[in-house]
Structure 1
Amino acid sequence: MDFRKQKLSITEAKEMDMVQYLSLLGHEPSKIRNNDYWYRSPLREENTASFKVNRKLNRWYDHGLGEGGNIIDFGIQYFDCSVGEFLKEMNGGFSFQEPSKSFPKRKNEPEHQLKILKDVALSSHALIRYLEQRKIPVEVATRYCREVYYELNAKNYYGIGFKNDSGGFEIRNPYFKASSSPKDITTVKNASDEVAVFEGFMDFLSFKSIRENEINNTSDFVILNSLSLFEKARPFLESHKSINLYLDNDAAGQKVAREALSNSKKYNDHSKLYQNHKDLNDWLVHIGKQQKKRLGNKL
């Protein structure tokens, strides 16, 4: 199958709105003054916003770096890639742009119209950059994830794929969260009498990245891939002597944790370790790499 398509031209790429593009990447302005949008730089660590986009000119300037330019100049620095690679990432044979922005869901349309085309080793600059932003080392991600190419509504896309026990994939990229059929949990078995439970694979990867240097880290793991699959996972979970819950700090996650604790003394709720954050990955992103080793001992 030929996956190649006509590339977005340089002229077309330059016309893309920088403010909207930064928003898609997860960067929002700290302040707006007329046509000037100020950000904490996406290109480096900083506390005070010194990265400016003039929306009228559609140009950026990073005062800390003393550099600026158009969206292509930004993209090749942000993804650490060539102009050709950046154009391919934006709109090549496969796009990682959010399908829902191009294809609004129609009434009575089936929830899943996603078809996996192929999966390969992780290599995309954009996906690796996304993992770095989530504080997931690529060495950890490549042990458990694939680069998945899929079709949705007659368009081709790609993302980070995490396989479940039935052969389906959970798929993530900077703009899109989806799953392919069949939907199922993912188990990682190490013949342990202890098991750790996560709602999503980003939290599992966060746990593994924090404790990646521990030789004796041989717990079993269950990634639910959906909180609704908790009951399905219970027989496997409760075959262990100790069950450690790392569920999200939201109403749904905490409700399941409370019910589990009331059902069996085997369950242990570890969500207080990241109680001021949405989930384990959100906590990891905020504590930063400097504290990973010290805080890893608490998990």
Structure 2
Amino acid sequence: MKNAIWQQEKIISITQTMRTQDARQIPITDYLERIGAKFTRTQQGTNGLEYVYHSPTRSDSKPSLCVNIEKNIWSDVPVGAGGRLIELVCHVHNLPDNDVKSALEVLDSIYPTVHSFSNKAARIMANNVSQTLFDASTPSIAPTTNNATGLNKKSAAIEVLKVQALFSYPLKQYLQNDRKINLNIAKEYVQEVTCRLIASGKQFYSIGFASGSTFAIRNKNFKGFAGLGVDISVFDKGTSKTLLFEGFMDFLSYLTAKNLHTPPFTTVVLNSSAMLDRFVQFVAQHPAITEIDYFRDRDELNNKTTGLETLEQLNNSLSHLKINDLSSAYPNHKDLNEWLIEHVSHQ
């Protein structure tokens, strides 16, 4: 707390001439408020508390610009951008990447005299308490609907060290016993990924599902991404019907429940609900698609609206297609995997 207050006092005393080190002290949340970006909610992301905004650079029905409060960094997963304040200024004001001089001139115009930040930003700084994300052995963070933040910054928060066939007993047990996934099926789609948290150097291993040029990673205590380049995962069968899943665990649950090693239709795994626009682009590039079976999360069971909002966005963006809300098959469960766990447990 004392350190946070000292930081706040340091910020307010910044001189009029903006320098790069001065810009790094400005809370990104304050800058976004000053340019009129629309704040929507807070969430617990991969690297700590995040503030989520609608992107000021485009019309996005689903807010995707996330700011990590503790680290003062941002990421916008659908466009693959992120970094510190300088990168955000370049991104928002359509400046060339790393045009530091022009970005500082923009900030000088926004903060012409002293840097007296907004009340909300000051409260964030004063109330900021450091959080330990990892214990001595493994990542520890509560799973959330969207943990993609931190992936598409200029440098990754998590580095992939090694990729191999699924081997470790704890990971197999997590899939088979905790998640009730058929291991023989899972091994065709997931790998064991050894990762390192760049900030601390701590290593851990997890289940990895290919997502663009990186991996969606998961173990008993962690859910997130490693490396750079997240994207949707596509299994193109050339069919007119497409199966749509929010995460790979639901995709594996579907295959397990049906006892299938390959899906019968073209299948897309979003890997993050923030990637819905990428799916819409995929559909636009495949005019043969006429019907979508969407296995969405039923967040309304936890008094949240994310799943319903995603369904609405899908209907609005693809109104010419038949979209089936397949969550009606598990009305009392938050997702397909939760249904599978209960179904298998009672057999």
- TM normalised by structure 2 equals 0.51
- Pick from 285, 288, 297 the counterpart of residue 248 of structure 1: 297
The match for 1:236 is 282
The match for 2:230 is 183
Mapped contact 2:255–2:261 kept (Cα < 8 A): no
SS in 1 for 2:187: helix
Percent of matched pairs sharing the same residue: 33
Residue 112 of structure 1 and its aligned partner are, at CA, apart by 4.3
SS in 1 for 2:237: coil
Instruction: Give 1:1-299 correspondences, 5 Å limit.
Output: 95=137, 97-98=138-139, 112-132=156-176, 133-152=178-197, 153-164=200-211, 166-180=212-226, 181-213=228-260, 217-237=263-283, 239=286, 240-250=289-299, 251-262=305-316, 263-288=319-344
CA distance in 1, matches of 2:327, 2:312: 11
| Amino acid corresponding to residue 257 of structure 1 in structure 2 | L
CA distance in 2, matches of 1:142, 1:174: 17
Unaligned runs of 5+ residues in structure 2 are 1-134, 143-149, 300-304
| Amino acid corresponding to residue 307 of structure 2 in structure 1 | G
SS in 2 for 1:161: strand
Mapped contact 1:261–1:268 kept (Cα < 8 A): no
CA distance in 2, matches of 1:284, 1:174: 17
SS in 2 for 1:116: strand
Q: Deviations over 1:29-75 (max 9, x none)?
A: xxxxxxxxxxxxxxxxxxxxxxxxxxxxxxxxxxxxxxxxxxxxxxx
Mapped contact 1:237–1:243 kept (Cα < 8 A): no
Mapped contact 1:194–1:242 kept (Cα < 8 A): yes
SS in 2 for 1:177: strand
SS in 2 for 1:275: coil
Residue 192 of structure 1 and its aligned partner are, at CA, apart by 1.8
| Amino acid corresponding to residue 157 of structure 2 in structure 1 | Q
CA distance in 1, matches of 2:337, 2:314: 22
CA RMSD of aligned residues (A): 2.5
Residue 274 of structure 1 and its aligned partner are, at CA, apart by 1.1
Unaligned runs of 5+ residues in structure 1 are 1-89, 102-107, 292-299
Q: Deviations over 1:156-214 (max 9, x none)?
A: 110000001x2210000011112022221111112222111111100000011111248
Residue 253 of structure 1 and its aligned partner are, at CA, apart by 1.3
CA distance in 1, matches of 2:315, 2:140: 39
Give the number of the structure with larger relative contact order, counting CA–CA contacts within 8 Å between residues 6 or more apart. 2
Mapped contact 2:195–2:204 kept (Cα < 8 A): yes
CA distance in 1, matches of 2:182, 2:229: 28
Mapped contact 2:195–2:205 kept (Cα < 8 A): yes
SS in 2 for 1:276: coil
| Amino acid corresponding to residue 164 of structure 2 in structure 1 | V
Change (3 A) 1:100 1:283: closer
Deviant stretches of 4+, over 6 Å: none
